[in-house]
């Protein structure tokens, strides 16, 4: 059994639905914990009654420390602040031996089991940004992306995620500060602090967490109806910046016509399907 957690608000509800739908299609045994960031999502998920999903509302999750952080941050920064605390909540309260945090703007194309085989018994794992040479300068934002973060419910897993939570409550903003190069949003802590104190596995599977920022230096193909990256199955794509058919990815990145056809068009269709249900 694979345990996942994510969160989304009403604006992201269709993306969250597509994430769940793709898990249903590709992950044989899983459970997804959803932190509903507003009451509208709670009510909508209750009506949908999605299988293999547990719903937690903010009233059951938010504590005094998060409420204090909320008052000092933009909504997006506050959501990022919630990420490690949400992982800890599931690890401490769910009948789980591990949890995998997922960003809601992900769609699976295949069973992610190869990644979990790669992780093996390790306590912690995360997806590298894998920037191409043209975008290496973006590593100042962090070597790692929190599209997927894996933690076991053991001493190292709990301690690392607990420290991540402490750091994010203290500071989690969309800006750089010259005096604190270890900070940027929630992600920079992974290579500046957490990686140095714990053994964190950097996921190597070429089909894991493909995204517009790391698309251009990989070789893609379709074999027997399956999208492949470097000869391996595309496991999931991270649709960072997706706003709809007319803005599928940020203009900073070079995404080929082939990727638009085989990676983005299926997502557009899935979002349309979600809109018809929710």
The answer as to whether 156 is a domain residue is yes
pLDDT of 17: 98
Distance CA 37, CA 59 (A): 9
Phi, psi of 36 (to 5 degrees): -85, 115
The answer as to whether 174 is a domain residue is yes
The answer as to whether 269 is a domain residue is no
H or E element at residue 52? none
pLDDT of 274: 97
List the domain range (segments joined by +) for residue 180. Answer: 2-210
**Which residue matches tokens 């009510």?**
43
The residues, any chain, with a CB within 8 Å of residue 155's CB and separated by 6 or more, are none
Distance CA 38, CA 76 (A): 13
Q: Which residues lie across from 186 on neighbouring strands?
A: 184
pLDDT of 244: 76
Query: Per the structure block, which two tokens stand in for 27?
Result: 């992950």
Cβ 127 vs Cβ 144: under 8 Å: yes
CATH number at residue 7: 3.90.550
Distance CA 118, CA 130 (A): 17
* Closest C-alpha among 30, 240, 25 to residue 127: 240
pLDDT of 246: 67
The answer as to whether 260 is a domain residue is no
Helix ranges (H only) for the chain are 13-26, 39-48, 58-61, 64-70, 75-93, 113-119, 155-170, 189, 195-197, 257-259, 265-277
The answer as to whether 135 is a domain residue is yes
pLDDT of 242: 86
pLDDT of 253: 82
The answer as to whether 78 is a domain residue is yes
* Closest C-alpha among 55, 46, 44 to residue 89: 55
The answer as to whether 204 is a domain residue is yes
Distance CA 36, CA 55 (A): 7
pLDDT tens digit at each of 278 positions of the chain: 999 999 999 999 999 999 999 999 999 999 999 999 999 999 999 999 999 999 999 999 999 999 999 999 999 999 999 999 999 999 999 999 999 999 999 999 999 999 999 999 999 999 999 999 999 999 999 999 999 999 999 999 999 999 999 999 999 999 999 999 999 999 999 998 999 999 999 999 999 999 999 998 899 999 988 999 999 999 999 999 888 776 767 777 877 888 889 999 999 999 999 999 99
H or E element at residue 12? none
* Closest C-alpha among 72, 91, 272, 266 to residue 164: 91
The answer as to whether 85 is a domain residue is yes
pLDDT of 10: 98
pLDDT of 254: 79
Domain tally, the chain: 1
């Amino acid at each position: 059994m694979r345990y996942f957690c994510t969160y989304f608000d009403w604006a992201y509800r269709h993306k969250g639905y597509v994430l769940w739908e793709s898990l249903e299609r590709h992950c044989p045994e899983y459970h997804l914990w959803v932190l509903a960031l507003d009451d509208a999502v709670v009510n909508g998920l209750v009506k949908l009654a999605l299988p293999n999903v547990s719903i937690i509302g903010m009233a059951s999750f938010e504590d005094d420390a998060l409420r204090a952080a909320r008052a000092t941050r933009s909504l997006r920064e506050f959501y990022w602040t919630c990420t490690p605390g949400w992982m800890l909540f599931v690890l401490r309260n769910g009948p789980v031996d591990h949890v995998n945090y997922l960003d809601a703007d992900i769609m699976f194309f295949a069973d992610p089991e190869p990644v979990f085989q790669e992780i093996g018994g390790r306590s912690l794992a995360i997806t590298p940004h894998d920037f191409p040479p043209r975008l290496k300068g973006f590593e100042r934002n962090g070597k790692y992306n929190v599209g997927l973060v894996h933690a076991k419910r053991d001493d190292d897993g709990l301690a690392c995620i607990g420290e991540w939570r402490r750091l994010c409550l203290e500071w989690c903003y969309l800006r750089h500060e010259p005096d604190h190069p270890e900070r940027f949003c929630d992600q920079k802590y992974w290579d500046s602090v957490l990686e140095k104190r714990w053994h964190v596995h950097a996921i190597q599977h070429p089909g894991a967490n493909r995204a517009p920022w790391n698309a251009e230096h990989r070789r893609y193909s379709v074999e027997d109806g399956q999208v492949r990256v470097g000869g391996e199955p595309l496991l999931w794509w991270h649709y960072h910046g997706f706003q709809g058919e007319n803005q599928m990815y940020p203009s900073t990145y070079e995404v080929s016509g082939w990727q638009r056809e085989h990676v983005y068009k299926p997502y557009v269709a899935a979002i349309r399907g979600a809109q018809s249900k929710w």
